[in-house]
C-alpha cells in the first residue's frame, strides 16, 4: 500500500499540471507544429517515467512496475481514440486552430468520467471476485470485434443525447472561437463547442469500457489505475496533432490493440481462476494449475504488439506509395 500522504500530494501535482496545460491551451489557440507536439509528448512521457521512479522509491518495484504496465496499456488503447477524434472534429467542422483547446476540455471531461468508472470497477472487484471472469470474457469479445468488426460511421459519434440536446437547447450554427456561449441576433446561446466536448467525453468513456477492465488486469490499485489513465490521456492531445491523418493509415494498429485486449482478457480469466469462489467451478476452490502472468511479461507483450503493428503499418504505407501500387484506404474500426 502506498502512503495516503503520497497519494494526496501526487493528485495535487497532477491537478496543477492539468490546470497549467488547460490554461496554456486556452491562452494560446494555435495549430501546434510537429516539433512542438513532439516536445510536449516527450515531456509527458518523461513525466510518467519520473512518476514511476518516485513510485519505486516510495513503494518499491511492484507499484512502479504495475504503473508502467498500466500506463503503456492505456496509452496503447488510447491511440485508437485518435481516429474517432478525427471523425468527431470533421463531423462538427471544428476550426483547426481551436482544436487543441477543445480537445483538452474533452480530455478533462473524459478523466472525470473515467475516475467515476474506476471507482465503480474497484467496488465491483472488492465485492465480487468473480467479476474478473466477466471482464476477461468481455475483453476477449471486444478483441474479436476490434479485429473483425465492421466500420464505424461518423454519424455514430453524435449519439442520441447530442440529438436530444439539439432539440432542447439553443445552439448556434457557427463557432465563436472556442467559447461555450455566444450572442446571435441579440440572443444568448451555446456554441457547437458544447456538442464537441460532450461527444469527445462520452465517446472516450465508451472506449474506457474495455481499457479500464484491461488495466485492472495489470493492477487492482485504484490510485495506480487512475494515474495511469491521467498520464496516458495527458499526451493524447499532442499525439493527435503529431500523427494527424497518419493514424488513419496505420491499418494494422487495430490488430495490435485487439491482441493486447485478448492477452489481458486471458490474464484476467487466469487470475479469476486462481482466486475462484464460484461454487460451480472446481467446487468453489482456486485452480492452482492455472499459470500466472507476471507484470514484466505483460509489459513485453504490450510493447511488442504495438511495435509490430506500427512497423507493419509503416511498411504497408511505404509499399502503397510505390508507383503502380494498389492503394488500400481501409482501416477496421471497433
277-304 pLDDT per residue, tens: 777 777 777 777 778 888 778 888 888 9
Sequence ranges of the domains in the chain: 4-320
pLDDT band, residue 246 (cuts 50/70/90): low
pLDDT at 272: 80
pLDDT at 86: 73
pLDDT band, residue 49 (cuts 50/70/90): very high
Q: Quick one: average pLDDT of 180-196?
A: 83
Taking the chain, what is the end-to-end CA distance rounded to the nearest angstrom?
36
Q: Which ranges in 149-192 belong to alpha helices (H)?
A: 159-168
Strand ranges (E), 94-209: 181-184, 187-190
Question: Which of the given ranges, 21-30, 94-103, 156-165, has the highest pLDDT on average?
Answer: 94-103
pLDDT band, residue 58 (cuts 50/70/90): very high
pLDDT band, residue 51 (cuts 50/70/90): very high
Specify whether the CB–CB gap between 169 and 191 falls below 8 A: no
| Digit-coded pLDDT (tens) for 111-169 | 888 888 888 888 888 777 778 888 888 888 888 887 776 544 444 445 566 667 777 77
Q: Which residues contact residue 294 at a Cβ distance below 8 angstroms, ignoring those fewer than 6 apart?
A: none
Location of C-alpha cell 476550426: 95
Residue 189 has pLDDT above 60, yes or no: yes
pLDDT at 236: 78
pLDDT at 34: 75
**Taking all residues of the chain, what is their mean pLDDT, rounded to a whole number?**
80
pLDDT at 52: 94
In this predicted structure, which of 63-72, 153-162, 315-324 has the lowest mean pLDDT? Answer: 153-162
Q: Give how far Cα 243 sits from Cα of 5, 51, 99, 237, 299, Å.
A: 38, 26, 14, 10, 24
State the sign of the Cα–Cα–Cα–Cα dihedral 255, 256, 258, 263. Answer: positive
- Give the residue with greater pLDDT, 326 vs 72: 72
Percentage of the chain modeled with pLDDT above 90: 9
Residues 160, 164, 168: CA angle, nearest 5 degrees:
170
Location of C-alpha cell 446561446: 189
Question: Which of the given ranges, 54-58, 123-127, 178-182, 249-253, has the highest pLDDT on average?
Answer: 54-58
Q: What is the pTM assigned to this prediction?
A: 0.75
- Give the residue with greater pLDDT, 236 vs 47: 47
| Digit-coded pLDDT (tens) for 201-223 | 777 777 777 778 888 888 888 99
Amino acid at each position: 500500500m502506498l502512503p495516503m500522504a503520497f497519494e494526496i500530494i501526487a493528485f495535487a501535482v497532477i491537478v496543477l499540471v492539468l490546470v497549467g496545460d488547460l490554461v496554456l491551451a486556452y491562452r494560446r489557440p494555435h495549430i501546434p507544429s510537429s516539433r512542438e507536439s513532439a516536445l510536449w509528448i516527450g515531456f509527458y512521457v518523461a513525466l510518467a517515467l519520473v512518476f514511476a521512479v518516485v513510485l519505486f522509491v516510495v513503494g518499491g518495484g511492484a507499484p512502479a512496475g504495475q504503473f508502467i504496465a498500466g500506463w503503456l496499456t492505456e496509452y496503447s488503447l488510447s491511440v485508437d481514440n485518435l481516429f474517432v477524434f478525427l471523425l468527431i472534429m470533421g463531423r462538427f467542422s471544428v476550426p483547426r486552430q481551436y482544436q487543441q483547446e477543445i480537445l483538452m476540455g474533452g480530455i478533462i471531461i473524459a478523466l472525470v468520467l473515467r475516475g467515476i468508472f474506476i471507482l465503480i470497477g474497484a467496488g465491483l472487484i472488492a465485492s465480487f471476485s468473480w467479476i474478473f471472469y466477466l471482464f476477461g470474457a468481455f475483453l476477449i469479445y471486444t478483441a474479436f470485434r476490434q479485429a473483425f468488426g465492421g466500420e464505424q460511421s461518423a454519424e455514430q459519434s453524435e449519439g442520441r443525447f447530442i440529438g436530444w440536446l439539439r432539440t432542447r437547447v439553443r445552439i448556434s450554427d457557427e463557432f465563436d472561437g472556442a467559447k461555450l456561449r455566444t450572442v446571435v441576433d441579440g440572443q444568448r446561446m451555446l456554441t457547437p463547442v458544447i456538442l464537441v466536448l460532450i461527444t469527445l467525453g462520452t465517446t472516450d468513456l465508451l472506449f474506457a469500457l474495455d481499457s479500464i477492465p484491461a488495466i485492472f488486469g495489470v493492477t487492482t490499485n485504484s490510485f495506480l489505475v487512475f494515474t495511469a489513465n491521467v498520464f496516458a490521456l495527458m499526451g493524447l492531445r499532442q499525439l493527435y496533432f503529431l500523427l494527424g491523418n497518419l493514424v488513419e493509415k496505420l491499418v494494422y494498429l487495430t490488430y495490435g490493440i485487439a491482441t493486447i485486449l485478448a492477452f489481458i482478457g486471458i490474464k484476467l480469466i487466469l487470475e479469476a481462476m486462481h482466486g475462484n469462489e464460484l461454487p460451480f467451478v472446481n467446487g468453489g476452490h482456486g485452480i492452482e494449475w492455472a499459470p500466472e502472468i507476471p507484470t514484466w511479461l505483460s509489459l513485453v507483450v504490450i510493447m511488442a504488439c504495438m511495435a509490430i503493428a506500427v512497423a507493419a503499418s509503416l511498411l504497408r504505407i511505404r509499399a502503397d506509395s510505390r508507383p503502380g501500387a494498389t492503394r488500400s484506404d481501409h482501416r477496421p474500426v471497433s
